[in-house]
Each structure stands twice: as C-alpha cells, then as structure tokens.
A and B are shown apart, each in its own frame.
Chain A
Amino acid sequence: MDKPTRQFHVRIQEALNDPQIRANFRRAMDGLMTKRANMFPDPVELERLRDLGAAVRRNALAQLPELLERLEAKCAENGITVHWAESVDEANRIVLDICRRHSAKSVIKGKSMVSEEMELNHYLGEFGIEALEADLGEYIVQLAGQLPSHIVMPAIHMNTRQIAELFAEKLEGVGYIEDAEELTKVAREILRHKFFDADVGVSGVNFAVAETGSLVLIENEGNGRLTTTAPPVHVAVTGIEKVVENLEDVTPLLSLLPRSATGQNVTTYVNMISGPRRDGERDGPQEVHLLLLDNGRTRIHADPELRQTLQCIRCSACMNHCPVYARIGGHAYGTVYPGPIGEILMPQILGCEEVGALPGASSLCGACGEVCPVRIPIPKMLVRLRKEAVDNTGASPVKGGGAQRSFGEAATWKGWEKVHASPALYRLATRTATAMGGLPALGPLKTWASVREVPKPAAKTLHQRLEERGNSR
C-alpha cells in the first residue's frame, strides 16, 4: 500500500471513530436529502430538466475551445481582461501580479473552489497579502485553520458549540456565545469593515456565458456581490469547463443547482456581471479580470468518457446522498473536492499515485448518479477510474494510471481468472475449499472478516452432489 493510500485509510478510521463527525454529518446530510426531494415533486419535470441541464453542459464541452475563444473576445469587448493558466502556480502568479500592480494589502474573497484548488490564500499570505474569506462557512474554516469539508457548506463538520468556542478563542473581545444568530452578527461586523478596506475582491464563477461575456455567480449571503462590487478590482477565478454557450443556457442550470444543493428554489442572489464600471456609473470595480485555469482539465477533456467529469456544476448533491461521505465526512478524503465527484475528479487532477485509492471509497450503490442534475454517470466512472488506477497497458489516459497496481492483487486476480477458465482447476479449487471448510482469514481477508462473517462453503460442492445423484440428466 503506498503512503497516500495508507493515510486515506487512517483518516477514514479516525472519522468513523469520531462521534462528533458522525453526528454532525449524519444530521446535515439527512436534512439535505429531504430538502432536495421536496424541491422536485414532479419526477417527469425533473427528468426533463436533467436532460436539458446535461445537454447544456455537453454542448459546452463539445465546443469548448471555440466557446473559450468566444468568451474571451466578448469579455474583452465588455472590458473584462481574460488570463489563461495551465497550472495552479501560474494562476497564483497571475493573481499576485494583479494585486501587486494595485499595491494591494488585503484581498476579500467570495466562495471559490478553484481558489481552494490553487491554495490562493496561503500563496498570497507568503507575499504579505492578507486574503480573507467572506462566506461565513469559509470564514469559520479559515479561522480554524482548516479546509472546507463540503463544497457548498464548508463548515458543516462543526456544530454551534464548536464554532462558539472557535470565535471566543480567535476573535478579540468576543466571548463564548452559543447562538447562530449572534455569531453571524459578530462575523458580519468584522467582515463589513474588511469589505470596506479591501483592495481586491477574488471570487469564483458558477457559469461564464460565451455569447454575452457574462460571469454568473450565485449565493445567499451577499458576500459574493460585495466581493465583486465593493473593491476597486475584481478577479474571478474559474476552471475552463465552466463556460456555457448562450445566456439562455444558464436558466436550466440555475433551476437545477440550488434545488439539488440545498433544497432551495433559487439562491438569494443571482449576480450576472458583464464588465467593470462603465462611463456614468457610480460604483462597481474599475477593473474586472477573468482567470481561466486548466490544472489537468484539458487532459480530462481528451477522453470522451472521462470528459463527463467536466459536466459538473458543483452542486454537491452526490456527496449529500453518498452513504460513504455521510459517514466519513469531507476531510477524510484529504482533497479539495470530496465525495463521489472528488473521487472521480481528484485522481485525474492529482494523479493515481497520490489519490488513486479514492474511487474505492464507494459501495457503487448508484445514489450519486441518480441525483446528479447534469447526468454524470458517476458510478460507471468510479469503476473506470478503479481500472485506470491499476492499468497495466502503460497507455492509461489518466495521470499516474497504473500506479495503484500491486503484484499481490494482480496475481490473485490472474489466479482467479485461470481457475474460472479451466473446469479441472475449478473443481479442484472448490473441492479443496470445501474440504478445508473455507478460506483461511489471512492478509486482506483478515481485515475484511474483522467486521463480517466469512461465508462457509457447503459440505459438498454442487458437482459432488450431482455426481451422487448419479449424473441423472
């Protein structure tokens, strides 16, 4: 077992043994599943919407290079500067350059998973620029020195008591207040002044519209709007896959995303930005930048099956409905994107050497595929990525394909194949197993058997019983 895989298994054990994590996630995920179900009372309408949502995303990916060029041209027309980055290092440098050009000391951030991918806060911090998260959940997680455990609700792993303790410990002049409303007020006051002072706002993007050069952002708190409006400079960071062709294309996605994510009809704010402050306007940033990040996405795009990973609109329904995620929580995965989407996305971004074991963290129950609003066949892709992780052709399209291949496992399956291909060997094997009264609980079987009953073979094999009946066919 390689090291990252062992770490993954250790984290899983730790999470499973932590009653707080078990309780916090269980309560949250149960609630989210119910809320989503209530939002889609008409199954026929839901399936039609999913068809449309999937078509919008597939259309965008089918024409991705053309649409990105169109987006760039249209953004330029609107006064938005477009940057391209192949790696997170390059992306971080671009953001740093923009900050330096404006002598920025403080950056305020709206929620952005791509910026988590870049570890932007840490990077800017090294250059003396404070990057502060303004989404309440992200703010809490940043204060705790942790990473988000859920892509929509970053602090879902903590309860009110834990957050009250955190605020009392980390925030000057704040006592212990175990009350969500009061804690929210505290954060609002602190962050309002930060918004007022911030030199640059950094946000993510939910959808980028090629037709009009618009950036669409959704949120409930208003921090996204403030981030993109109050500071003199707005930098939006996003993956190259977030583009859609037409303005109308955003409508089914806006209908599917909040309902699938948090069981809301619509988020409080849908913010469509098509440029910096124009002549005669009284506010809005003087500069808007759009940063398009590759970070492995072009490689994912190259394979028609794996490309479906890029259809994702980051709603989190797959993790909300995953029995594994609900039990181990987001941190156990050790990656920016946890849950089923993380299990298929992260090995393709980071490589199978690092996280090739992730697709194994699934019972293949199929819930993720059933709820995905854009019809990503996640269970099928989990199987595909398990295969790529142990690939022996040397031609895997996935980064680090084959890295999880082990001699023992390969030999076991080779043996299994041989036994099942030869009647003589098969009989010998089943008779031996019957005579021994089962397989000895050794090696991996020992671990497996520690929480399960090992199946016992019948006293006689089927062949033997048929022979005793005199082969009376």
Chain B
Amino acid sequence: MSGSRENILRRLRDSRETGAAVGRDFTVIEDLQWSGDEAVARFTGLMRAVNTEVHETTREAWPAKLAELCVAKQVMRLALAADTPVGQAARSVLLDTSVETVAYSRDIEDWREELFFQVDAGLSTAAGGIVETGSLFLQTGPDEPRLLSLVPPIHFVVLSRADFANTLLEMLRRHDLAAGMPTNVLLISGPSKTADIEQTLVYGVHGPRQLVVLLTD
C-alpha cells in the first residue's frame, strides 16, 4: 500500500540526526593476504575441515579424475552444462563410461521430477575461490542454473587456482559486481549441514551430501 510507504518514509525523515553518511574503513579486510602455496594450503585445509573432498589436479587431467570419481561414487546420472568448456570436457570423457550425462538445457518445469529424484550428481564451474574462508564463488546463469549446484546429492565443482582471491571483498571488486549483479551469486563452503539436533553435526540436509572440488592449476 503506497500509504504505508509514505508513512514509513515520512516518519524516518522526521527522525533527528539522520542524513550524514558514516565513513567505513575496509583496511582490516584488505590487509588479509595469502601468497601462492600458503593460499592453496589454507583454502584446501578449510574446505576439508568442513568435509569437502578436494582433489588437486590439472587443466588436462581433471576430466579423467571426474570420471574416476563418478564411477567410484556409483553416479549413474550426472547433470551438467551443455555448452560450457567444463560441461563439454566432462561429456566427452564420460562417453566411455557407464555414467550418463544430462544437460541442464531445459526449463526446470520440463524436468523437475527427474532433477529432484533421478539425478545423482551435478557438475559446475566455480568463478573463483576465496582463501580467507575456504569458499567457492559461483555465478549462476543460463548455462549453469541455480538448482544444478543444489538439488543433486553430489556436487562436483571445477576450480582453477588462478581464480583465487584473498577475500570476498577482493572478489566483488575483481568482478565489479557493484556495477551489476547476476541473478544469483553464491558462496559455497562445504556440503549442506545442520547442527539443529542437540548441536550434533550432520552433513547432507537439504543440499548436497557431498561436495567434491577438482582444483586445477
């Protein structure tokens, strides 16, 4: 109701002592820096501490590693992007295996039930990794929709060490996101978890039970 909008804004404007911006000094975050090996060690350490599988591999070798892991984890059907480099590389290597690939190139309404109940794993590309917290930085979009990294029980992610940033602040600045945000930006730090029952940590509630990172050079 527009009346409510006007009333709320009017009351806020009537408040005393409003209007002056307060300065913010971000150096405490900007000061956080990790170099080379230190960054990799911190990132992988933090990720593993929350039950993430991290496999250090290379740009050439990761598809073979993915195939090996899919077989080991008995993945029957893997959802992936149809047209991204990661999706295409995975598809070609999985052709020779028992793993069936499903391209997420339909609207969710057309295959909702299938995605929710008949897909074992999803594969996506991380736009970056955040060293401070051990987080994957993902930007969803037409190629890699939001549910790809959320609904299947296992989530595989390909991440290049070249895309590390020290902090979220650095990442936001690098991608100039203040100028325009994709519909969904995500930080993912481990498989889904809960401690709502007497603070007992349990992995795999509503999101993926397993998070597997293929960390390339």
Residues of chain A lying within 8 A (CB to CB) of residue B169: 248, 251
Docked CA distance A85–B21 (Å):
26
Interface size (B, Cβ < 8 Å)?
A: 82
Residues of chain A lying within 8 A (CB to CB) of residue B188: 268-269
Give 15 A-B pairs besides A222-B207, A272-B185, A281-B142 with Cβ atoms closer than 8 angstroms: A48-B28, A55-B23, A65-B13, A180-B197, A188-B206, A191-B206, A211-B178, A214-B181, A229-B146, A246-B178, A248-B26, A255-B132, A265-B132, A278-B183, A299-B11
Most B CB within 10 A of own CB, among A163, A188, A246: A188
Are B195 and A262 in contact, with the CB atoms below 8 A?
A: yes
A151 to chain B, nearest CB (A): 13
Give the residue of B28, B108, B195 whose beta carbon is less than 8 angstroms from that of A52: B28
The residues of B with any CB-CB pair to A shorter than 8 Å are: 1-2, 4-5, 7-9, 11-29, 46, 50, 104-108, 112-113, 116, 132-135, 140-142, 145-147, 150-151, 167-169, 172-173, 177-178, 180-200, 202, 204-208
Residue of A nearest to B150 (CB): A225
What are 27 of the A-B contact pairs (CB < 8 Å)? A48-B27, A52-B25, A55-B23, A56-B24, A59-B24, A62-B17, A62-B20, A84-B8, A136-B205, A140-B196, A154-B196, A160-B198, A184-B194, A184-B204, A191-B206, A225-B206, A229-B146, A229-B150, A246-B178, A247-B177, A266-B187, A278-B183, A280-B142, A282-B105, A284-B145, A284-B183, A304-B17
Are A221 and B106 in contact, with the CB atoms below 8 A?
A: no
Residues of chain A lying within 8 A (CB to CB) of residue B4: 84-86, 90, 294
Residue of B nearest to A216 (CB): B185
Given contacts A154-B196, A184-B202, A282-B106, contact A266 B135 (CB under 8 A): yes
The residues of A with any CB-CB pair to B shorter than 8 Å are: 24, 27-28, 31, 45, 48-49, 51-52, 55-56, 58-59, 61-65, 68-69, 78, 84-86, 90, 134-137, 140, 153-156, 158-160, 163, 180-181, 183-184, 187-188, 191-192, 195-196, 211-214, 220-223, 225-226, 229-230, 240, 245-249, 251-252, 254-255, 262, 265-278, 280-284, 292, 294, 298-299, 301-302, 304, 307
Docked CA distance A280–B142 (Å):
6
Residue of B nearest to A141 (CB): B196
Are B207 and A269 in contact, with the CB atoms below 8 A?
A: yes
Docked CA distance A278–B180 (Å):
14
Docked CA distance A275–B195 (Å):
30
Residues of chain B lying within 8 A (CB to CB) of residue A265: 46, 132-134, 189
Docked CA distance A304–B20 (Å):
13
Docked CA distance A276–B108 (Å):
14
Give the residue of B50, B167, B172, B196 whose beta carbon is less than 8 angstroms from that of A268: B50
Are A274 and B189 in contact, with the CB atoms below 8 A?
A: no
Are A268 and B189 in contact, with the CB atoms below 8 A?
A: yes
B32 to chain A, nearest CB (A): 9
A145 to chain B, nearest CB (A): 17
Docked CA distance A56–B46 (Å):
27
Are A69 and B9 in contact, with the CB atoms below 8 A?
A: yes
Chain B facing A: main interface SS:
loop
Are B200 and A180 in contact, with the CB atoms below 8 A?
A: yes
Are B187 and A249 in contact, with the CB atoms below 8 A?
A: no
Docked CA distance A387–B92 (Å):
72
Residues of chain A lying within 8 A (CB to CB) of residue B147: 229-230, 283
Docked CA distance A229–B112 (Å):
12
Residues of chain B lying within 8 A (CB to CB) of residue A63: 18-19, 21
A359 to chain B, nearest CB (A): 23
Given contacts A56-B24, A62-B18, A255-B29, contact A266 B133 (CB under 8 A): yes
Are B193 and A272 in contact, with the CB atoms below 8 A?
A: no
Docked CA distance A223–B21 (Å):
36
Are B187 and A270 in contact, with the CB atoms below 8 A?
A: yes
Give the residue of B22, B28, B196 whose beta carbon is less than 8 angstroms from that of A136: B196
Are B183 and A64 in contact, with the CB atoms below 8 A?
A: no
Residue of B nearest to A281 (CB): B142
Given contacts A220-B194, A268-B192, contact A59 B11 (CB under 8 A): no
Given contacts A184-B197, A299-B11, contact A274 B150 (CB under 8 A): no
Chain A facing B: main interface SS:
helix
Given contacts A62-B19, A284-B145, contact A226 B178 (CB under 8 A): no
Closest 4 pairs (CB-CB, A-B): A222-B207, A137-B196, A180-B200, A59-B22
Give the residue of B18, B172, B187, B196 whose beta carbon is less than 8 angstroms from that of A248: B172
Given contacts A282-B106, A283-B147, contact A273 B183 (CB under 8 A): yes
Most B CB within 10 A of own CB, among A195, A220, A276: A220
Residues of chain A lying within 8 A (CB to CB) of residue B12: 64-65, 68, 240, 298, 301
Residues of chain A lying within 8 A (CB to CB) of residue B196: 135-137, 140, 153-155
A305 to chain B, nearest CB (A): 10
Most B CB within 10 A of own CB, among A24, A272, A274, A282: A282
Are A136 and B194 in contact, with the CB atoms below 8 A?
A: yes
Are A52 and B20 in contact, with the CB atoms below 8 A?
A: no
Are B178 and A283 in contact, with the CB atoms below 8 A?
A: no
Docked CA distance A211–B176 (Å):
12
Residue of B nearest to A221 (CB): B205
Residues of chain B lying within 8 A (CB to CB) of residue A184: 194, 197, 202, 204-205
Given contacts A86-B4, A160-B197, A180-B197, contact A220 B192 (CB under 8 A): yes
Residues of chain B lying within 8 A (CB to CB) of residue A49: 28-29
Residues of chain A lying within 8 A (CB to CB) of residue B28: 45, 48-49, 51-52, 252
B40 to chain A, nearest CB (A): 17
A214 to chain B, nearest CB (A): 5
Docked CA distance A228–B191 (Å):
18
Docked CA distance A49–B32 (Å):
12
Most B CB within 10 A of own CB, among A192, A211, A255: A255
Given contacts A158-B198, A184-B197, A301-B12, contact A274 B181 (CB under 8 A): yes
Residues of chain B lying within 8 A (CB to CB) of residue A223: 205-206
Given contacts A86-B4, A163-B197, contact A251 B183 (CB under 8 A): no
Docked CA distance A61–B22 (Å):
10
A310 to chain B, nearest CB (A): 11
Docked CA distance A159–B105 (Å):
45
Most A CB within 10 A of own CB, among B2, B116, B133: B133
A131 to chain B, nearest CB (A): 17
Docked CA distance A321–B207 (Å):
31
